[in-house]
């Protein structure tokens, strides 16, 4: 491994810039669902979907679109008409499920959420926000102020007034023993209680499936019940689809559609996979909300031509090859197979997921205590076996996260599951 590069990394980059693995990886190339490191080792990538590779590594259509656009015009400003930006915005609006949709492009998920906060607080003239416990929404000054997961929320000095709502996780804590119905009722009562004691909030921001928080979903109906309470009080709904968008959850194109009883959200934020490695984020909102800002605005790098060309090629590939359907089919098989694997291991508390977004929560055998050491050990051993995984969880990282590129094949799913089976058996 490249000790020299690691030393240089540590000498010049922040200590808090997290690196996976005791012997960190330097990836040098990728193809399909595989990546290679600097020493020439090949890995099946079960985490690339979160690290932004939505469809496949080095997708030829994306590589071609980037090269052609970069060779023609490598420039960025929203002060001039930008054909690739208009074309991607049209496509995103078409698949958004939001009536009269307008799209604003940013360069990251953090910035997308920042923009959504700017819009919601301006539209509602309130700087009070509701967010979920255990949530993750980004790294900027304002988005750490709506991030409920303490492991990722270093400051309490945010200018926002944030109230954290129950409903994110219940594997431990006071609601752990409740069934779905009782849990939903308790969370709705908690929300009403918060609303009764605060200034009217501008919005509630929520991830349909908590990503960094360990791939946990609220019970069916919980977000819809929240929505009804909030709508009566004029509180907007922001769905953070940075991890759940673009068909990842299999049954739905957007995560919010699993909770859609009361209609689409007021604002949707997206990022990560849409650029297949190029930096694209964005916000979708009804025109009335998007246009509430009273000053002019540009975004120098939001919607840059080369990233928009990549996004368009990637989204077209996703739709033409029905990768959402693939996520449903292959994700369903993988979930079933991993549940069988999990049933054999005393460390596995739960295997859960939707589509190609699967979490394996580990606890110390015979207890209900999170086991971050076991999760770290599985990550190391899986890597030694040629499989890359992610990890996440509540306030401790004890959930293995699986989010491969959406083109994962059945044979690759089986190959990865076999590695995990071996690693968990030997733990
Ligand atoms: N929202 C969610 C749900 C995320 O998972 C992330 C990234 N992990 C972000 C926002 C922030 O996105 P970015 O890292 O592109 O700023």
- Tell how strand 42-45 and strand 387-388 pair up: parallel
Helices 372-384 and 410-425, axial angle in degrees (round to 10): 120
What is the mean predicted confidence (pLDDT) over 56-81? 94
The sign of the dihedral angle between the CA atoms of 172, 175, 178, 182 is negative
* CA–CA gap between residue 327 and residue 399 (Å, rounded): 20
Which positions ≥6 away from 339 have C-beta within 8 Å?
Answer: 351
Task: Indicate whether 48 pLDDT > 60.
Answer: yes
Atom of ligand 1 nearest to the CA of 272: 15
User: Which residue spans within 287-389 are E strands per DSSP?
Assistant: 348-354, 357-362, 387-388
* CA–CA gap between residue 253 and residue 318 (Å, rounded): 11
Atom of ligand 1 nearest to the CA of 279: 15
Q: Which two tokens stand for residue 120?
A: 């919601």
* CA–CA gap between residue 332 and residue 328 (Å, rounded): 6
> Does any ligand 1 atom lie closer than 6 A to the CB of residue 136?
yes
> Does any ligand 1 atom lie closer than 6 A to the CB of residue 113?
yes
**CA 272 / ligand 1 centre spacing (Å):** 7
The answer to whether the complex's ipTM is over 0.95 is: yes
> Does any ligand 1 atom lie closer than 6 A to the CB of residue 143?
no
Burial 50-68, CB ≥16 within 10 A → b, else e? bbbbbbbbebebbeebbee
For residue range 213-269, what is the model confidence (pLDDT) as tens digits?
999 999 999 999 999 999 999 999 999 999 999 999 999 999 999 987 778 999 999
> Does any ligand 1 atom lie closer than 6 A to the CB of residue 254?
no
**CA 407 / ligand 1 centre spacing (Å):** 22
**CA 20 / ligand 1 centre spacing (Å):** 17
Rounded (10°) CA dihedral 190, 154, 394, 143 = 60
Query: What is the Cβ-side half-sphere exposure of residue 302, based on CA atoms within 13 angstroms?
Result: 21
Pocket test for ligand 1, best of 49, 136, 265 (most atoms within 8 A of CB): 136
Atom of ligand 1 nearest to the CA of 281: 15
What is the mean predicted confidence (pLDDT) over 328-341? 98
* CA–CA gap between residue 107 and residue 96 (Å, rounded): 19
Q: Which two tokens stand for residue 76?
A: 């960025």
> Does any ligand 1 atom lie closer than 6 A to the CB of residue 138?
yes
For residue range 102-123, what is the model confidence (pLDDT) as tens digits?
999 999 999 999 999 999 999 9
CA distances in angstroms from 45 to 10, 271, 333, 406, listed in the order given:
25, 20, 17, 11
By residue count, the chain amounts to 427
**CA 150 / ligand 1 centre spacing (Å):** 15
CA distances in angstroms from 123 to 116, 161, 206, listed in the order given:
10, 16, 18
> In Å, how far from its chain's centre is CA 118?
21
Supply φ then ψ for residue 185, to 5 degrees: -60, -40
3-class SS of residue 201: coil
Please check whether residue 102 is in contact with residue 290, taking contact to mean a CB–CB distance below 8 angstroms: yes
> Does any ligand 1 atom lie closer than 6 A to the CB of residue 215?
no
Task: Indicate whether 1 pLDDT > 60.
Answer: no
What is the mean predicted confidence (pLDDT) over 336-341? 98
The sign of the dihedral angle between the CA atoms of 128, 134, 138, 140 is positive
Q: What is the pLDDT of residue 156?
A: 60
> Does any ligand 1 atom lie closer than 6 A to the CB of residue 214?
no
Residue nearest to atom 12 of ligand 1 (CA): 109
- Among candidate residues 331, 312, 324, the one with its CA nearest the CA of residue 274: 312
Task: Indicate whether 372 pLDDT > 80.
Answer: yes
Pocket test for ligand 1, best of 110, 147, 214, 239 (most atoms within 8 A of CB): 110
**CA 165 / ligand 1 centre spacing (Å):** 20
Task: Indicate whether 71 pLDDT > 90.
Answer: yes
For residue range 121-137, what is the model confidence (pLDDT) as tens digits?
999 999 999 999 999 99
3-class SS of residue 57: strand
**CA 196 / ligand 1 centre spacing (Å):** 31
**CA 122 / ligand 1 centre spacing (Å):** 22
> Does any ligand 1 atom lie closer than 6 A to the CB of residue 137?
yes
**CA 110 / ligand 1 centre spacing (Å):** 6
Q: What is the pLDDT of residue 279?
A: 96
**CA 60 / ligand 1 centre spacing (Å):** 26
* CA–CA gap between residue 230 and residue 236 (Å, rounded): 7
**CA 333 / ligand 1 centre spacing (Å):** 27
Q: Which two tokens stand for residue 154?
A: 């270093």
């Amino acid at each position: 491994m490249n000790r020299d590069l690691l030393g240089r990394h540590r000498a010049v980059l922040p200590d808090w810039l997290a690196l996976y693995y005791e012997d960190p990886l330097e990836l040098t190339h990728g193809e399909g669902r595989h990546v290679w490191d600097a020493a020439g080792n090949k890995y099946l990538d079960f985490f690339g979907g979160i690290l932004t590779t939505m469809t496949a590594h080095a997708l030829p259509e994306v590589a071609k679109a980037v090269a052609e656009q970069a060779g023609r015009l490598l420039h960025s400003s929203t002060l001039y008409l930008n054909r690739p930006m208009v074309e991607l915005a049209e496509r995103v609006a078409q698949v958004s499920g939001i009536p009269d949709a307008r799209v604003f492009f940013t360069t990251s998920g953090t910035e997308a959420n920042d923009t959504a906060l700017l819009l919601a607080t301006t539209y509602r003239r309130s700087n009070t926000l509701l967010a979920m416990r255990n949530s993750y929404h980004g790294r900027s000054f304002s988005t750490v102020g709506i991030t409920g997961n303490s492991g990722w929320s270093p400051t309490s000095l945010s200018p926002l007034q944030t109230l954290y709502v129950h409903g994110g996780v219940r594997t431990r804590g006071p609601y752990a023993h409740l069934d779905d119905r009782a849990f939903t009722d308790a969370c709705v009562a908690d929300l009403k209680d918060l609303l009764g004691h605060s200034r009217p909030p501008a919005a509630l921001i929520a991830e349909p499936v908590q990503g960094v928080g360990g791939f946990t979903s609220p019970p069916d109906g919980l977000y819809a019940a929240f929505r009804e309470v909030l709508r009566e009080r004029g509180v907007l709904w922001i769905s953070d689809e940075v991890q759940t968008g673009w068909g990842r959850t299999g049954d739905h194109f957007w995560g919010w559609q699993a909770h859609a009883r009361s209609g689409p959200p007021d604002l949707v934020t997206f990022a990560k996979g849409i650029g297949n490695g190029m930096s694209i984020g964005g916000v979708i909102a009804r025109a009335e909300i998007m246009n509430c800002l009273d000053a002019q605005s540009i975004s120098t790098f939001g919607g840059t031509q080369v990233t928009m060309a990549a996004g368009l090629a990637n989204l077209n590939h996703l739709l033409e090859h029905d990768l959402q359907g693939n996520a449903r089919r292959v994700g369903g098989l993988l979930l079933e197979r991993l549940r069988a694997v999990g049933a054999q291991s005393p460390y596995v508390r739960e295997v859960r997921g939707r589509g190609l977004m699967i979490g394996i929560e580990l606890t110390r055998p015979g207890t209900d205590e999170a086991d971050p050491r076991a999760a770290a050990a599985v990550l190391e051993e899986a890597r030694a076996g040629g499989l890359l995984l992610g990890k996440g969880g509540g306030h401790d990282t004890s959930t293995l996260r699986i989010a491969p590129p959406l083109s994962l094949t059945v044979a690759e799913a089986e190959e990865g599951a076999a590695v995990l089976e071996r690693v968990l058996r030997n733990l």
